[in-house]
Amino acid sequence: MRPLDENETTVVFEKIFKFVGNNLKNIVENPSHEGPEQDPGRYCFRLHKNRVYYVSESLVKRATNISRKSLVSLGTCIGKYTHAGGFHLTIMSLSVLAANAKHKVWLKPTSEMSFLYGNHVLKGGLGRITDSIVPGDGVVVFSMSDVPLGFGVAAKSTQDCRKLDPNGIVVLHQADIGEYLRDEDEL
């Protein structure tokens, strides 16, 4: 386990920035409440076995004595590096993203299940959508009861969405909570 170096940090932050925008500051500087001390400090990012974890400092301190082979996970895993060197956010980062998301989409109850199966979000399933979405933005997908379901990339801007036909793709699927059942091994 080691802290991220410059390049890695940039990459990770860029990805997160797409979803949360300026709230990135919140994420990085959030005072944490974990750890047995009274003032556990803040959160930090650590790299371990090609996965990036978002943990509070006190946890990190305590995990240092666990050998690399035996350490499996700490805090929240937010993403992993692919063989090719790219970085993807995984579904496990949903709670972090959802709390700070700038662009949100709400799905109708009928199309929740479809999204949870890994399909893209279609115009017909759209309940609400925040304004000022630009294509290529990260979007967090919620259900109508404000339960975060996953996230993806916007395919169209908000304006264009209005003009779209009901089968048009609005959000390209990247991750959803159905993966906990479908792709357990990938996580």
Partner 1 sequence: MAAGALTRNKKKGAKSQTPPLSKRTKSNITPPPKKAAKSHKPPLKKQRKVISEEKPEVSTDEEEKEEEEVSEQSDELGSDFFSDGDGEEKEEDDDSEEEDKEPLADDFLDGSEDEEGTLGSDSDSDGSDLEKESKAIDEERKREERDAKDELQMNIKEQPDEFRLPTKKELEEEASGPPDLPTLQTRIKEIVRVLSNFKDLRPEGVKRKEFVEQLKADLASYYGYNEFLIGTLVEMFPPVELMELIEAFEKQRPTSIRTNTLKTRRRDLADVLLNRGVNLDPLSKWSKVGLVVYDSQVPIGATPEYLAGFYMLQSASSFLPVMALAPRENERVVDMAAAPGGKTTYVASLMKNTGIIYANEMKVPRLKSLTANLHRMGVTNTIVCNFDGRELPKVFGQNSVDRVLLDAPCSGTGVISKDESVKTSKSANDIRKVSDLQKQLILAAIDLVDAESKTGGYIVYSTCSIMIPENEAVIDYALKKRDVKLVPCGLDFGQAGFTRYRENRFHPSLDKTRRFYPHVHNMDGFFVAKLKKMSNETKASGNELVETKEQAQLSSDDDDDSIEELKKPSGASGKPKQDIKVDKSKRRIPISEPNYKGNENKNASVEGPRKQKKKRSQWKAEIAQAREDKRKVMRKNTKESGRR
CA atoms within 13 A on the CB side of 62: 13
Neighbours of 97 (CB within 10 A): 25
Out of 11, 24, 44, 63, name the contact with partner 1 by CB under 8 A: 63
To the nearest whole angstrom, how small is the minimum distance from the Cβ of residue 76 to partner 1? 5
Measured CA distances, 180 to 25, 96, 108, 173, 176 (Å): 29, 17, 21, 15, 8
To the nearest whole angstrom, how small is the minimum distance from the Cβ of residue 93 to partner 1? 9
Tokens found for residue 110: 């009928």
Considering only CA atoms, which of 105, 57, 48 is closest in space to residue 78? 48
Q: Is 139 in the site for partner 1 (CB under 8 A)?
A: no
> What CA–CA distance (Å, rounded) separates 53 from 146?
25
Q: Is 137 in the site for partner 1 (CB under 8 A)?
A: no
Q: Is 7 in the site for partner 1 (CB under 8 A)?
A: no
# of chain residues touching partner 1 (CB under 8 A):
41
Mark the segment that binds partner 1 (CB under 8 A) among 19-27, 131-139, 156-164, 178-186: 178-186
Pairing between strand 138-143 and 104-107? Answer: parallel
Nearer to partner 1 by C-beta: 65 or 167? Answer: 65
> What CA–CA distance (Å, rounded) separates 148 from 25?
21
To the nearest whole angstrom, how small is the minimum distance from the Cβ of residue 16 to partner 1? 16
The contact set with partner 1 (CB under 8 A) reads 33-38, 55-56, 58-59, 62-63, 65-66, 69-77, 91-92, 95, 112-113, 116, 143, 145, 147-149, 177-178, 180-181, 184-185, 187
